[in-house]
A and B are shown apart, each in its own frame.
Chain A
Amino acid sequence: MSHTHQSFWSKYIFSTDHKVIGMQYFFTGLFMAMIGVFFVYVFRMQLAFPGLSIPGWGLVTPHAYNSLITNHGTIMIFWVAMPVLIAAFGNYLIPLMIGCDDMVFPKINRLSYQIFLLSALVLISSFFVPGGGFGGAWTAYPPLSAHANYNMTPFGAPLWLIAVALEFVAFLLGGINFVTTTMNARAKGMKMYDIPLVIWMIVIASLLFMASVGPLIAGAIMLLFDQLLGTSFYNVPGGGDPLLWQHLFWFFGHPEVYVVLLPAMGIVAEVITTFSRKKLFGYKTILYSTFVVGILSFFVWAHHQFIAGIDPRMANIFVVTTLIISVPIAEMIFCYMATLWGGSIHFTTPMLFGIAFVMEFIIGGITGLYLGSSGTDIYFHDTYFVLAHFHYTFVPIAVIAVFAGIYYWFPKIFGRMMNETLGHVHFWGTVIPFNCIFIPLFLLGMAGDHRRIYDYTNFPELNTAVLQHWRIFATYSLLIMILFQIPFIYNFVTSLRRGKKAGANPWKANTLEWVAPSPPPHGNFATLPEVYRGPYEYSVEGRKEDYWPQNIPG
């Protein structure tokens, strides 16, 4: 293969190689994460010190505040969690872990990234149009989102919607590629139950996305017509109904939680098994639980709408389904803990992040029960309790599990090891401040702090010294968490050049990506591997080594 003489452009920008596309998604996601973090820095500073001129931004107007929180949420979910967890890890890992040389449709794969990049550019451009970026929350409920008279962003709102729609198209194309590749391009001998869990999870997540996003695409077209042409799909005087959007949005929005959760669960399954040196407990239980979660996730959406004016009898049904869906998730978590039990645990940096994911996600899951029960939700709705709850799910997913994945696969991707000491510093500096941000926000939420308030000094009953103290504490914790990302970036950049050479299989892991050289060349494998067993055969009795790669015969 004569790929050595490629120009920079054809090798890194217009490449159809799944690894390059994965990295494109990864670094675009990282760049968008920096924007999202900058936004949260600005509005948390405004909440802690209202009226302060914020270094790097200036005074925060109410209008800018709304736009900042809206775009923080949108970016973190659609342009960070999804591209990094599904597209970056999916693109990089699927062909390597199923033992083939590329995706089945490399050009569609490249197209999907290009559409994604376009969507990111459209979103960024929406911050600079007259009227500013959209400020109607990432859920974009009409009538606020449907009429420029209400949201005051005649250009920002449609651009935001177009960006989200383009992003959906990109992920539909990518998802079709992922599912088809996994179904058809597996190495010889790789049966259903030999597929590593992370690949299963990414594929199931792609299917969930594919099945749930359709109605929202239809809804987005309708909202765009309402915004731009003046139709009345969501406009009551014109014969429409704003509640329709909420149904369409959350019919997608709740499965979306699992779309990002499942790849994170998969990454953690790989990490925990490798560093426990023990067979994954209950591979099939985890897999079947995932199917159940996937199916149930289509029947819980209205728990976001308990106080939106839906029929209380309908609310009862959705309470039941919501509480039921916590059962398979708990089952998966128990399987992970059982994997740790009796293993010989290596506390490497990826393992620390993996265990932290399980622990922090449990808190996120348990607080969800309060919100899934309509009785308590009436009180908690739209408070910081809700916000803290979903950050206790999303931060473990999109930050902690992603770091576990980065530290785990960095040696494969770049061929060098990361520094463990700096990794440990980064780990503790991320996880401790994370709890210090959101535990106070739980307390604030229980005390009645409403989510969408720009300046608490206007609300005397919420403007007490104690509550303000917790707001400042959360903001300081955020600043510390951001500062502790510097060791990570330093570690990442220096390890690229000066890290210890990794070799093909530094963690002594079983899955097929560790058969390929690090970093894998174009085409991945010198000879395509065959598969003889499942991915988690660690510490098998009677074997000299405590691991048994999938491609070794016998």
Chain B
Amino acid sequence: MNIVSKDEKKIIGRRIFRDNDQGELPITDSQLLVKREESAMSSHVPIATTRSASGIPTARLAVWWVIASEIVIFGGLLACYLLFRLRHESWMYEAAHTNTVAGAFNTFILLTSSLFVVLAHKAAEARDTVSAYKYLWYTIGGGGIFMMVKAYEYTTEITHGFTMFKSVFWSFYYTATGLHGLHVLAGMLIMAIISRDVKKGENLHRVEAIGIYWHFVDIVWIFLFPLLYIAK
């Protein structure tokens, strides 16, 4: 805590309040920290987890690192695709067979679901667990529609002969959208687990964490959509 300025300390106090599920008002953040350290001693949560030397809550910090490592995974895949694409003009004839309308619709759905997760976060901050729960499930619903449209796309493409083996373009198409789809499914699953806690009013700070992740999944799609669908 020593390396943060006065102003930052105010913010930290607020964050800790937000992370604190019991909802009592922090008198000062150092008092609160002591309190949390005491409560950590009695439960299985290590004191380490309750500290915040950088001023950023631990859960949020960790999600950002998860995203950093995911960015290089998708970044590597997309860089490979781009380098191939620039050297193979013929790929535009392959890309002509992707369903732009379905892709655009999915973009709309995914962006809307991101709005819901923001609303869920806002509700969680206000400790309105009923709305937070509702908006989390709206987000999961958005993910579900996205996956159904994706399944429809895959089915039509495969039945029209555009399988993974037709050309390297289609290999990239299925690998990239498949990997992204897995991330959507993982996000939906984690959100469902978190929603259970939210209903009970526990671990409300996790809504923000999954929200950050969901935005990331969204942004990956924002890259995939033009690269695979629009660029014909």
Interface on A for B, CB 8 Å cutoff? 1, 95, 100-106, 172, 175-177, 179-181, 183-186, 188-192, 210-219, 221-222, 225, 229-233, 238-241, 244, 248, 251, 528
Neighbouring A residues of B75 by C-beta, 8 Å: 214-215
B96 within 8 A of A: no
A-B pairs, top 3 by smallest CB distance, nearest first, are A215-B76, A214-B72, A102-B46
B68 pairs with A103, CB closer than 8 A: no
Offer 25 A-B interface pairs, CB within 8 angstroms, sorted by A. Answer: A1-B41, A104-B51, A176-B62, A177-B62, A183-B56, A183-B61, A184-B54, A184-B61, A185-B48, A185-B51, A189-B2, A214-B75, A215-B72, A215-B73, A215-B75, A215-B80, A218-B77, A219-B76, A221-B179, A229-B165, A232-B165, A238-B167, A240-B168, A244-B80, A248-B80
Neighbouring A residues of B48 by C-beta, 8 Å: 95, 100-104, 181, 184-185
The range of chain B's interface size is 35 or more
What CA separation (Å) do A102 and B49 show in the bound complex? 8
B58 within 8 A of A: yes
Inter-chain pairs besides A176-B69, A528-B47, 19 sampled, C-beta below 8 Å: A1-B41, A101-B47, A103-B48, A104-B51, A177-B62, A180-B58, A183-B56, A183-B61, A184-B53, A185-B48, A192-B3, A210-B69, A215-B76, A215-B79, A216-B76, A218-B73, A218-B80, A222-B80, A232-B168
A196–chain B nearest beta-carbon distance, Å: 15
Neighbouring B residues of A215 by C-beta, 8 Å: 72-73, 75-77, 79-80
Neighbouring B residues of A222 by C-beta, 8 Å: 77, 80, 171, 175
Q: Which of B21-59 contact A (CB under 8 A)?
A: 41, 46-49, 51-54, 56, 58
B1 within 8 A of A: yes
Cβ-defined partner of B51 (8 Å) among A100, A177, A212: A100
Interface bits B55-87 vs A (CB < 8 Å: 1, else 0):
010100110011011111111110110011000
What CA separation (Å) do A84 and B56 show in the bound complex? 30
B160 within 8 A of A: no
Interface centre among A1, A100, A214, A240 (most CB of B within 10 A): A214
Neighbouring A residues of B51 by C-beta, 8 Å: 100, 104, 184-186
Interface centre among B3, B46, B70, B171 (most CB of A within 10 A): B46
Interface centre among B2, B53, B58, B167 (most CB of A within 10 A): B53
What CA separation (Å) do A217 and B53 show in the bound complex? 32
Task: Output the nearest chain B residue to A17 by Cβ-Cβ distance.
Answer: B46
B168 pairs with A233, CB closer than 8 A: yes
A476–chain B nearest beta-carbon distance, Å: 44
What CA separation (Å) do A149 and B72 show in the bound complex? 32
Neighbouring A residues of B77 by C-beta, 8 Å: 215, 218, 221-222
B62 pairs with A105, CB closer than 8 A: yes
B164 within 8 A of A: yes
What CA separation (Å) do A251 and B70 show in the bound complex? 16
B6 within 8 A of A: no
What CA separation (Å) do A214 and B68 show in the bound complex? 10
What CA separation (Å) do A95 and B48 show in the bound complex? 8
B65 pairs with A184, CB closer than 8 A: no
What CA separation (Å) do A312 and B77 show in the bound complex? 26
Task: Output the nearest chain A residue to B73 by Cβ-Cβ distance.
Answer: A214
A102–chain B nearest beta-carbon distance, Å: 4
Neighbouring A residues of B68 by C-beta, 8 Å: 210-211
Cβ-defined partner of B171 (8 Å) among A172, A213, A214, A232: A232
**Total A-B residue contacts, Cβ distance less than 8 Å:** 139
Which label, helix, strand, loop or mixed, suits the secondary structure of the B interface?
A: helix
Neighbouring A residues of B49 by C-beta, 8 Å: 102, 104-106, 185
Cβ-defined partner of A100 (8 Å) among B47, B66, B79: B47
Neighbouring A residues of B83 by C-beta, 8 Å: 244
Neighbouring A residues of B69 by C-beta, 8 Å: 172, 175-176, 210-211, 213-214
Interface bits B140-176 vs A (CB < 8 Å: 1, else 0):
0000000000000000000000001101100100010
B3 pairs with A103, CB closer than 8 A: no
Task: Output the nearest chain B residue to A229 by Cβ-Cβ distance.
Answer: B164
Task: Output the nearest chain A residue to B77 by Cβ-Cβ distance.
Answer: A218
Task: Output the nearest chain A residue to B178 by Cβ-Cβ distance.
Answer: A221
B72 pairs with A225, CB closer than 8 A: no
Neighbouring B residues of A180 by C-beta, 8 Å: 58, 61-62, 65
Cβ-defined partner of A231 (8 Å) among B62, B171, B179: B171
Interface bits B89-126 vs A (CB < 8 Å: 1, else 0):
00000000000000000000000000000000000000
Cβ-defined partner of A238 (8 Å) among B52, B88, B168: B168
Cβ-defined partner of B62 (8 Å) among A104, A106, A218: A104
Task: Output the nearest chain B residue to A231 by Cβ-Cβ distance.
Answer: B171
B51–chain A nearest beta-carbon distance, Å: 5
Neighbouring B residues of A190 by C-beta, 8 Å: 53
A184 pairs with B72, CB closer than 8 A: no
Neighbouring A residues of B54 by C-beta, 8 Å: 183-184
B71 pairs with A101, CB closer than 8 A: no
B2 pairs with A184, CB closer than 8 A: no
Neighbouring B residues of A184 by C-beta, 8 Å: 48, 51-54, 56, 58, 61
What CA separation (Å) do A248 and B66 show in the bound complex? 20
What CA separation (Å) do A251 and B80 show in the bound complex? 13
What CA separation (Å) do A227 and B53 show in the bound complex? 47
Neighbouring B residues of A191 by C-beta, 8 Å: 2-3
Neighbouring B residues of A102 by C-beta, 8 Å: 46-49
What CA separation (Å) do A215 and B80 show in the bound complex? 9
B134–chain A nearest beta-carbon distance, Å: 29
B73 pairs with A183, CB closer than 8 A: no
Neighbouring A residues of B74 by C-beta, 8 Å: 214, 218
A214–chain B nearest beta-carbon distance, Å: 3
What CA separation (Å) do A528 and B53 show in the bound complex? 15
What CA separation (Å) do A214 and B171 show in the bound complex? 19
B34–chain A nearest beta-carbon distance, Å: 11
A101–chain B nearest beta-carbon distance, Å: 5
What CA separation (Å) do A218 and B1 show in the bound complex? 39
Known contacts A104-B49, A183-B61, A215-B76; is-contact A230 B1 (Cβ 8 Å): no
Cβ-defined partner of B168 (8 Å) among A177, A211, A239: A239
Known contacts A105-B62, A176-B65, A184-B52; is-contact A214 B76 (Cβ 8 Å): yes
What CA separation (Å) do A189 and B61 show in the bound complex? 21
What CA separation (Å) do A232 and B171 show in the bound complex? 8
Interface centre among B1, B88, B167, B171 (most CB of A within 10 A): B171
Neighbouring B residues of A188 by C-beta, 8 Å: 1-2
What CA separation (Å) do A190 and B3 show in the bound complex? 9
What CA separation (Å) do A241 and B84 show in the bound complex? 9
Task: Output the nearest chain A residue to B53 by Cβ-Cβ distance.
Answer: A186
Neighbouring A residues of B167 by C-beta, 8 Å: 232, 238-239
A217 pairs with B175, CB closer than 8 A: no
Cβ-defined partner of A217 (8 Å) among B1, B65, B76, B164: B76
Cβ-defined partner of A230 (8 Å) among B41, B80, B84, B165: B165
Neighbouring B residues of A105 by C-beta, 8 Å: 49, 58, 62
